[in-house]
Every structure is written in C-alpha cells, then in structure tokens.
Amino acid sequence: MTNTKYGLMKAEERTKLPDVNLLCVPHGSERLIVARFGPNTYVANRSEMAQHYWNSSQRPDVSFRHGTTSESISASAYNFRNIAKPEILDPNWLQSGYIVRTSEGVFANPPLDGQGKPIVDEQELKKLLNGVKPTKLKGHSLYIVDNSADLRDFGFAENDTFTRGIQSGTTFAQGGLARVLEHTKKPAKVLKGISSKRNYLDGVNVYGFDAVRDPVLRVADLYSNRGDGRLRVVGGWNGNGGGYAFGVLDKSPKATQ
C-alpha cells in the first residue's frame, strides 16, 4: 500500500479568458468560423487574434489566425445588410487583408517570411507565380495560385485587368482586382453581391491602386462612408487607422499567425 498524503487539496487558480462571439459563414464549398476584431489598427487587430478566448464549454480556449482577403469577404457577405454593412462598413472600415502594390499590378495575401512579416520583395513574389497558368482579362494576366501549406489565397492581378474609379458593381466584380481579392478565376460572385444596387445604388469607387515605382505593403479596405450609397475599395492605406478585421478560428492548439 502506497503512502497517501492527507489534508486539504486546494483548487488551482485558473486564468479567466475573455469572451468571444463566433460567427459561422459559408466560404465556397466550405464553412468558416470567424470572430470580429476592432476597431483598431490592422496590426493590433491581428495581434488580438492570436490571443486566447472563451466561447463556450465546447470551445473553452480558442485563438485565431488572420483571415485572407477572400475569407474576410465571405465573412462580411453573410447577412451583409444587417451585420457587416451597418456595423463595419458604414461607420468604419473592413480591413480585408494585406496586398502588395507594384509597378505592374497587385499581389493579394503575400506569404510571411521567417520573422512572420509579409513578403514585399517583388522578385520573391513573382517566383511564386511560376508554373501558374494565367487567366486573360482584356489581354492582360490574372494569376490565382492554388492553396498550399505556405500559400493561402495568394494571387496577382496586373494593373490593366481592372478599372479604377467609379463603376458598377458588375464591372468591378468582373475585373482582376475583385477576382484576386476573392481568389477566383471567374467573376467575383461574393463581391458582386456585396456591391449590388440592393446595397449600393451608386456603385463602386476603386482608388488607391495606382502603379508605384517600388513595391509597397498596404491593406485592402472596404467602406461605405456612412452609408452614402457607394462602396469604396481602397488600396492606398497601410492599416494604421481604426478598422475591423476578421480572424478565422485556428484549429491548432495555438495560433500560428
């Protein structure tokens, strides 16, 4: 018989995790479980995603990775008129994800380097397009790269594949920018629904996507300017202003991004 230590066995202290609400949304043929973070800078929102939260007894300790532009668009599209439009885009900004603007076009969702920072080097990004068959739009190229362990919703749209300025939702959805943000070779179905006349009578205004001499890291933002009837799709800001971003439920024990 082993010796038994008698006496009081005190309860161990445990950290009370902050609560988080989850939203389950369709994403192509899959579903995503997401949470909304903000309003804060994009870097701060991404940092908060990696923290740990409590949702329920079934999900007592959860964390998140940052959503890609495509995932953020899907999260926004769910019940858009009642959730994302009045709560995010009308009063504030949707920080959909990182892009890299170059002299030739726009990269969406650049992968991270060894220090966890988005890769901005144009030559490194171009190498990731090797072997990818482009989709031709107006005689110019759109590259949609298959997802892999290192790449998630990565792609590149040449500048002349899309129209800048004020345009209809249909024109926007057919262009290379909408397609690369939604990560689809076909016209961007989800963005077409978001930018439809039902939501935005005055169409879409695309700006902040002019060619640049040297590559720059930016955030693709969507907003409504307090619901004035036009969707803005902006690529000129670096995410230092306040806005909202979506984190995707991390299936691993700890957030990796």
Summarize pLDDT for 238-249 with one digit per residue, the tens.
Answer: 888 889 999 999
pLDDT exceeds 70 at position 252: no
Please state, as a whole number, how many other Cβ atoms lie within 10 Å of the Cβ of residue 179: 25
pLDDT for position 10: 74
Closest CA to 66 of 113, 27, 115, 111: 111
pLDDT for position 51: 96
Look up the pTM and report it.
0.92
Task: Note whether residue 192 is domain-resident.
Answer: yes
Question: Mean pLDDT for the chain?
Answer: 93
pLDDT exceeds 80 at position 44: yes
Per-residue pLDDT band for 14 (boundaries 50, 70, 90) equals low
Average the pLDDT over 90-94 and give the result: 96
Which tokens hold the place of 77? 């599209």
Task: Note whether residue 210 is domain-resident.
Answer: yes
Task: Note whether residue 14 is domain-resident.
Answer: no
Tokens 């930016």 belong to 218
Which tokens hold the place of 179? 């397609």
Task: Note whether residue 153 is domain-resident.
Answer: yes
Task: Note whether residue 10 is domain-resident.
Answer: no
CA distance 81 to 194: 9
Average the pLDDT over 100-107 and give the result: 98
pLDDT exceeds 60 at position 50: yes
Contacts of 2 (CB under 8 A, 6+ apart): none
**37 phi and psi angles, rounded to 5 deg:** -125, 140
Task: Note whether residue 227 is domain-resident.
Answer: yes
When divided into structural domains, the chain yields a total of 1
pLDDT for position 254: 40
Cα 8 to Cα 12, 70, 100, 115: the distances in Å are 12, 54, 60, 47
Task: Note whether residue 11 is domain-resident.
Answer: no
Task: Note whether residue 110 is domain-resident.
Answer: yes
Q: What is the domain extent for residue 202?
A: 23-249
